Structure 1
């Protein structure tokens, strides 16, 4: 086995990693684990959170077992390393003709090969280097295998769904179905999602809005329910499950919105998945209201058809809060050495701090030692230049909100 030829490796990739057999093995593994963990337990004793953790541990065991068998097959003890890449270095709005090109076919082939046995993908994968090899890790991150961070998993699902529609690729179709079932399996009983699944501990287990993790998932589910052409081929049962997942996601988003003196405002980067209370992440990412994530959720909510009164209240609350905490008279200057300095700039385009203290709406800044500060210049040089403490992202969202608001008021005015 030590001296596999390129020819034998090709057939190994084609047959050993065929998505259909892998799905079957996954189903058998899960059924065995479910029978083992539920045996002798009456339904009245069923705890959805315990079942979720059992499911996570089962999926992690399957991933470990898959990699162990591959390593045994190639007579190697440690996994082959994975180079750093840019998982999403393709244009999702590219013409259909590009999705039929050899470049897109190569990308799809590599993408399918890096899908974990649980159904998700890691981030920053080197698709440009070709398919994953037997015995190679599923990503560069040693403490987790698949994630929703930085657009991972959802970008792959969207790409492969469109690739399947335009090329009739069964491998892409199977990967999309497996990816969507991964979305369902990883959803918390409360309706949110962790950043990483199977669970990896620490802040990764929080219900995560950071960098669009949950909003990317919810937007995908909204698109599918709205009849997006790339997903017309999904079977009825899966569509129904995804629709229910979407409803639970919207419910938990509304339930986790933070109130200030009983007035709806925004959201934190992370929330406790059980209590929905705001949660911290890395040492410099404190419990706070986050302008970036709140604006992303606002974009999601105004995209929903026929919003309920609760959704409308949520929209008005976050839009009002974003307008309240904007800065119209400062800018952030970047120095030659990479440092960032806040300067007075009357009449400047609006910007927002990334984090705001929940009780006071004062901007917050954090350092690697866990210390909190009210001024950017008070934190270390490394953190000043290494994190986006101010941003203009909410401005475009608020512009879209104003157009949505005007359109809605016009519709209401003309409705008998």
Structure 2
């Protein structure tokens, strides 16, 4: 499980400005490297290879890359705005963290700064003829990077901000979160049934004097603290939980001094918004938001809702058939289990509610429940049957055309067959 500092570093790496700043720094250093590398270049080689043309190439890059960078940034902002309007604002964060967009922007901005730095060093005549050759080689490499980046950007920009592309990113974020959970179920701790945080003698609460969503929990740090203090910790707030100064985030088996609780509080990272990293339920909720917006009267796009149902079922199938680890990695850490009922409720209840009057959506829902009920893992069967019955009851209230209702009933009967 990722520690707090590793998680914070990964968040830094996802920031839009970070890659641009890093590539820009390297681009500025490249002309300086040409100055240092000049003594190892054989005399006269620069004239043979036509390195004198580097000044013209740099001028072309400087004049064009600024416009390309501005255009790319404008395109990205427009795509984010479109996704916020047509998909859901919660998915925009994934688009901003998209590595392809960040690499493109960083490459264009870095090329612009490289050309500026090269022009300045040439104007100051700091490199000489041999240093000019090194700069010429760097310039050719930059041109090659620009060409490759432009080809990728042309293919990618036509899909940026589209509903299917954004939904795909949400699905990938959920898949990553589920995979991390399956690799270390219950954050590596001992499974604890939901709502039983105070059982087994865990009666001493730990409070955090702040309000926010739990975005990350440093399970190894909590386990190490529990081992050092010869006690056990029972988590009461999982990633995605909104906590406040009156809601415990954990319960301890033994009473501890107040100054000893700082390490426990530090293991909980709070924020204004939920995070996809350790919170699969948030991803499923975002999928449900995409479907609900598509089913709104103003948009009326049941095809997107059907696509969301298929994606959710695919993710839940992988989670259902995965094998549980035999032994917990952190026995002293008791963690509430992630249940199928919670996951299905997060994604399918809003779809069943908003699509109650659409026969095609109800049939696809029942087919998804039937697939989940038949899985060999058995985690989802009871929840799938329950949600199938609830969706059928919603359809019976919303559908007035009897043949449509019969089709839904037939599909619902297959869930328990």
TM-score normalised to structure 2 length = 0.26
Higher relative contact order (CA 8 A, sep 6+): 2
Between structure 1 and structure 2, the one with the greater Rg is 2
TM-score normalised to structure 1 length = 0.26
Higher share in helix: 2
